[in-house]
Amino acid sequence: MSINILLCAINAKFIHSSLALRSLYANATEYASYIDMLEFSINNSSDFIIKELYSKSPQVLCFSCYIWNIGLVKEIAGIIKKISPEIKIVMGGPEVSFPPFEILGEFADIIVLGEGEGVFNELCEYFIKGMPEISKIKGIAYYWERGITVNELSPLPDLNSLVFPYKNLDGLTNKIIYYESSRGCPFSCAYCISSITRSVRFLDIDITKEHINFFLKNKVKLIKFVDRTFNCDAERALEIWKYIIANDNNLSSFHFEIGADLLIEEHIDLLREARPGLIQFEMGVQSTNPNTLKEICRASDMEKLYENVAKIKALDNIHLHLDLIAGLPFESFNSFKKSFNDCFDLRPDMLQLGFLKLLKGSDLRLSADKYGIKYRDSAPYEVLFTNHINFHELIKLKDVEHILEIYYNSGIFIATLEYALKIFDTAFDFFYNFSVFWNKEGFHKMPHSRQKHYEILFQYFSGLERADIPFIKDLLKFDMFMNENVKNLPYWLPKTDYTPIIGQITGFFANENNREMYFSKLSEYSPKQLSRICHIERFNYNILDWINFGKKEFSPNYCLFVYEKLKTKVYTIDL
């Protein structure tokens, strides 16, 4: 009977894909005929996953383990151990690569330590050919009859020797493609395990370009580079971005995690040429408290960071995502409030409010007692409280995070949010006070539709004495039509009476000059069709002047909303 080796990934979301599995498979070329792969998401039930795995009748079952899936992996592996104890279970990934290897025996027979391509290849040889002896395979810990044994670590592979993990894109339609052109990190942030090696190995830049070209030719929608700090080598980053811009296919987008303070003027000048949507940046700020940054060994030039984020934002063609971490040493509630406002004032497209995870192998986990950090015993090991911030305060920040996701990161409430920010002293004050109202009214107890989110925000403003309700109604109505062609306005918004102007509207859509000016990308539609897929709405205030110049003026007008494929365009028009 031939050996069947099954690789299994359980991703955080359906849209995600597993780079680890594909790299293991691609680099076990000699044994490819013995290997199969299955991918799931954490939203799949354990019953479903077990059924699918069992149907493959594996002799060796391999799991890729992370903080987001380890609980489900252990549940599944434990059941597999009971129903098919003869199956050998191998686990790898950052969640199982550090002592004391407590999962060995009960859940796993073998753990792959660190980078796994070469180790997995040897394990395939061991299971298929019976060689080499398991005691001679570097880079594993294993549980045999005599208990746990930890072998010598395997040397790190030369990235240029590894096989490209994407020979084809089978099964990856509409999925995010993950790609790495380097491993390791030059920095030593105490909360991160990428810094353990304290060095970076780069893939040859010409090979990297070949891989990028493969993605471009295959019109992959989103390629996420998982390099920990992509621009730590400024010249290398410049050359790769230059290649991507020069070979743009007008469809693909590339996502990079970068150090904002490491950007140089040549980067900014080059990025000015990028098509809007081609490049996305994620920048980890984590905190703006200098004592916190020093304590977690995060060497950031904050002045340079602020300056570079402002420059990237001014380009108006790069999607910008900033990260914060609550629960770090010396970061109190008020200190975090300042960090939040410092970052929000930069107006990124997304501001992620994350919470400290005490990752296995990280320096901060090892020194948690020093800062009074208490955290959950199970993955993802999230902070509960510290010497500097208590549990109640972290719960408050969780509420702020929820409101931030709905009302800022969604990008849906652009006009209304600008008003909210102007009637509060700081952005944090608005999000915090709104979150208090949200919980007090019980809105946290169930999910809500987008239309309900508009209504809740209106209810909140209605309780504020300083709020200009007629203006807010116009702002909310504008945001609604910017995001969808609303057919029925909610009860709390006045309806526009189109009866007196129906003739002007019909004539507007039929006018050839208007068709050329406003509907050039919708030229295949007739005037009647255009009147259905686009929308004209009356406003009492000039909302475009408000968005562009912060100018609040009572000036009755009509706005045309043109719903193109990728975005909505809006114009003030005369009827």
Per DSSP, the residues of 409-420 read IT---HHHHHHH
- Token readout for 375 is 């955290």
- Token readout for 497 is 């009476």
Burial 450-462 (b: 16+ CB within 10 A, else e): eeebbbbbbebbe
Quote the pLDDT of residue 523.
Answer: 87
- Token readout for 303 is 């002045």
Q: Cα(first)–Cα(last) distance of the chain, in Å?
A: 79
State how far Cα 204 lies from the chain centre: 27
| Rg of the chain taking only CA atoms, in angstroms | 27
> Residue 231 and residue 257: Cα distance in Å, rounded?
8
Instruction: Assign 148 to helix, strand or coil.
Output: strand
- Token readout for 360 is 């296995």
359 Ramachandran zone, left/alpha/beta (phi>0; psi -120 to 50): beta
> Residue 426 and residue 344: Cα distance in Å, rounded?
9
- Residue whose pair of structure tokens reads 């609303």 in the numeric block: 486
Instruction: Assign 70 to helix, strand or coil.
Output: helix
Phi, psi of 5 (to 5 degrees): -105, 120
Strand order in the sheet with 110-112: 35-41, 5-11, 60-64, 88-92, 110-112, 140-144, 147-150
Packing angle between helix 469-483 and helix 414-422, nearest 10 degrees? 150
Phi, psi of 36 (to 5 degrees): -130, 160
Quote the pLDDT of residue 58.
Answer: 96
The amino acid sitting at 134 is I
Count Cβ atoms below 10 Å from residue 433 Cβ, excluding itself. Answer: 16
Quote the pLDDT of residue 197.
Answer: 65
- Token readout for 103 is 């999962």
Quote the pLDDT of residue 565.
Answer: 82
The amino acid sitting at 478 is F
- Token readout for 359 is 């990752």
Packing angle between helix 427-440 and helix 391-404, nearest 10 degrees? 100
Quote the pLDDT of residue 296.
Answer: 95
> Residue 52 and residue 32: Cα distance in Å, rounded?
20
Instruction: Assign 563 to helix, strand or coil.
Output: strand
> Residue 113 and residue 140: Cα distance in Å, rounded?
5
Q: Which residues of the chain have pLDDT under 70?
A: 1-2, 195, 197-198
| DSSP secondary structure code for residue 108 in this structure | B
